[in-house]
Homo-oligomer: A and B are copies of this chain.
Amino acid sequence: MLARYLPIFEWGRTYDRKVLSNDLMAAVIVTIMLIPQSLAYALLAGLPPVVGLYASILPLVLYAIFGTSRTLAVGPVAVISLMTASAAGAVADQGTAQYLEAAVTLAMLSGVMLVILGLLRAGFLANLLSHPVISGFITASGILIATSQLKHILGVSAGGDNWPEMLGALAGVITQTNVWTFGIGISATLFLFWVRKGAKPALQAIGLPERAAEMTAKAGPVAAVALTILAVLAFDLDQRGVNLVGAIPQGLPPFAVPSTDIALIEKLWVPALLISIIGFVESVSVAQTLAAKRRQRIAPDQELVGLGAANIASAFSGGYPVTGGFARSAVNFDAGAQTPAAGAFTAVGIALATLFLTPLLFSLPIATLAATIIVAVLSLVDLKTPIRLWRYSKADFAAHIATTAVTLIAGVELGVIAGVAVGLLLYLWRASRPHAAIVGRVPETEHFRNVERHEVFTLPHVLSIRIDEALTYLNARWLEEYVLEQVADRPPVRHVILMCSAVNEVDASGLESLEAINHRLGDGGIGLHLSEVKGPVMDRIKRTHFLEELNGKVFLSQDRAFAEVAKDTGEPPEPVDHYMARGLI
């Protein structure tokens, strides 16, 4: 019981020296990778770089206590940073105390919401975001993020909350490009792109073993940081208009009390909810992928609690919304992390960096951080998915494209909402016009299939209809119309068998429709039979008067129903011997 709510008690019991050394090793590698990433994502969120470091300390410790994934690494991530910038930007200007307060409040609200959703076991809400919607959102966010960083590469000032605005603002100031900044920015970008593909083979070529080469290549962003700092110092680039990170406050995160300003909370709760859901979905996807590789399991409802605790911790230590990120978790996993303790050790690493390393970053060009972001997010842009979706399902394609387009044109919040809305509408539309088939018996079997797709046997007096959907309020009206229309089209019909093998549920509205159909068919002297009704559905129907009023019977199988009804009509089924042989007629 305790282990369910505090997973630390589960893995903590078997913790030993070997696991410790693996976790420590992973923590060192992740720490090195996280320092430039945390600074860069804070920049993307429009916050002072140190806030990214703050958000990478306490949250990791809290997730280690409450989270269920062994290898997930939480902290600032690209998409959530972009959403934070959009939400905080709507209530205050970047650089003001109000802006920082809004970011901290977002973390607090998001944390509280996640914990509440977790305690309500409402992890299923994350299902509202389908894979096509998520991938459309991530692609569009990647494009937005990369575009938002171009201004830092060019050394100009430009704003914009969506793609058309950003491109317009950039076009207006492109002539003011600072060549020194652009030189640093473009070199860092090209270097980082090369590192992704070319560094590992190059390091192997100079004799490093494969694994060491792979890990060293992950430190590419650190190399870019070091090299560009040296370039700034060597050529006095601060005198030539290159923007630098400047002084980062040294010391541990402050203890901050999040805002309790109701007016601010009213403005921020919707974006906080979206941040919570997107963050949760991203984190759970990453955690599940990694857990599956080692045949471990995660508990989605407890993950909500873990992420919520991490966000509350972030708010109390002056940070902004965090979640489990793909890149950092994959590095943590590959580096051999075995328990969430690796996350706690990473937190110690970042805390030490915050205490002692920040003066070294004074001369780091902002353009280098922008390059780190651009290279990281462009890998998120996935143009193959829409093609695959178009081929497989037009509805999924529509949801994907709607999400991508609305995100690009109207920003991240409306993008997510549009994706969920389009997905739901299409789902409800399909559920309201379900598939149904007139079925007949496949020769020499007891199996019944669609008369339009298979060579099957039917009888003129018997109409067998297979309903391919749960009978719910969404299609109750359709059901009545469909069945009565089919009967009206076939005057000889004297028995209707509804084959319910695919009817997974009958709600109150569906039952009313069945009653209406039964009543209407009864008026015309036509029997209504049900076959293959599922156990849970039958249990509920038995609690009503429906079976007493039914003009027919309920059969265990469609085959039994067909044989019995055929006998009643006096028509020997063809081939007769199929049934004769089994003593059914």
* Chain A positions near chain B (C-beta within 8 angstroms): 124, 127-133, 288, 292, 300, 388-389, 391-393, 395-396, 423-424, 427-430, 432-435, 437, 442, 445-447, 449-450, 453, 468-470, 472-478, 501-505, 507-509, 511-512, 516, 520, 532, 534-536, 540, 543-544, 556-557, 559
What are 25 pairs between A and B in contact, CB < 8 Å? A124-B429, A124-B433, A127-B474, A128-B428, A130-B507, A288-B477, A300-B477, A389-B508, A392-B508, A392-B511, A392-B543, A396-B508, A396-B509, A427-B472, A427-B474, A445-B557, A446-B446, A446-B447, A446-B559, A447-B557, A447-B559, A450-B535, A468-B504, A502-B504, A502-B534
- Contact check, B429 vs A507: say whether CB atoms are below 8 A apart: no
Chain B hits for A434, CB < 8 A: 504
Chain B hits for A473, CB < 8 A: 127, 129-133, 423
Q: How far is the CA of A391 from the CA of B300 in the complex (A)?
A: 32
Given A127-B473, A428-B127, A556-B442, the answer on whether A507 and B391 have CB atoms closer than 8 Å is no
Q: How far is the CA of A445 from the CA of B446 in the complex (A)?
A: 8
Chain B hits for A432, CB < 8 A: 124, 127
Given A127-B477, A392-B540, A544-B392, the answer on whether A430 and B508 have CB atoms closer than 8 Å is no
Chain B hits for A508, CB < 8 A: 130-132, 388-389, 392-393, 396
Q: How far is the CA of A429 from the CA of B288 in the complex (A)?
A: 21
CB distance from A533 to the nearest CB of B (A): 11
CB distance from A293 to the nearest CB of B (A): 10
CB distance from A296 to the nearest CB of B (A): 12
Chain B hits for A470, CB < 8 A: 469
Q: How far is the CA of A428 from the CA of B501 in the complex (A)?
A: 21
Chain B hits for A472, CB < 8 A: 130, 427
A131-B512, A132-B508 are known; give 6 further A-B pairs, CB within 8 A: A127-B432, A127-B473, A131-B508, A133-B473, A435-B504, A437-B535
Chain B hits for A389, CB < 8 A: 508
Among A124, A428, A559, which residue has the most Cβ atoms of chain B within 10 A? A124
Give the copy number: 2
Given A447-B446, A535-B453, the answer on whether A501 and B504 have CB atoms closer than 8 Å is no
Chain B hits for A520, CB < 8 A: 292
| Candidates B128, B388, B476; contact of A131 at CB < 8 Å | B476
CB distance from A133 to the nearest CB of B (A): 8
Q: Which residue of the partner chain B has the closest CB to A426?
A: B507
| Candidates B435, B477, B556; contact of A447 at CB < 8 Å | B556
Among A395, A450, A473, A543, which residue has the most Cβ atoms of chain B within 10 A? A473
Chain B hits for A396, CB < 8 A: 507-509
- Contact check, B501 vs A502: say whether CB atoms are below 8 A apart: yes
CB distance from A196 to the nearest CB of B (A): 25
- Contact check, B132 vs A509: say whether CB atoms are below 8 A apart: yes
Q: Which residue of the partner chain B has the closest CB to A504?
A: B468
Q: Which residue of the partner chain B has the closest CB to A429?
A: B124
Chain B hits for A559, CB < 8 A: 445-447
- Contact check, B507 vs A395: say whether CB atoms are below 8 A apart: yes
CB distance from A485 to the nearest CB of B (A): 9
CB distance from A36 to the nearest CB of B (A): 33
Chain B hits for A388, CB < 8 A: 508, 544
Q: Which residue of the partner chain B has the closest CB to A502?
A: B502
Q: How far is the CA of A450 from the CA of B556 in the complex (A)?
A: 12
Q: How far is the CA of A288 from the CA of B512 in the complex (A)?
A: 14
Chain B hits for A512, CB < 8 A: 131
CB distance from A401 to the nearest CB of B (A): 13
Among A128, A300, A504, A516, which residue has the most Cβ atoms of chain B within 10 A? A504
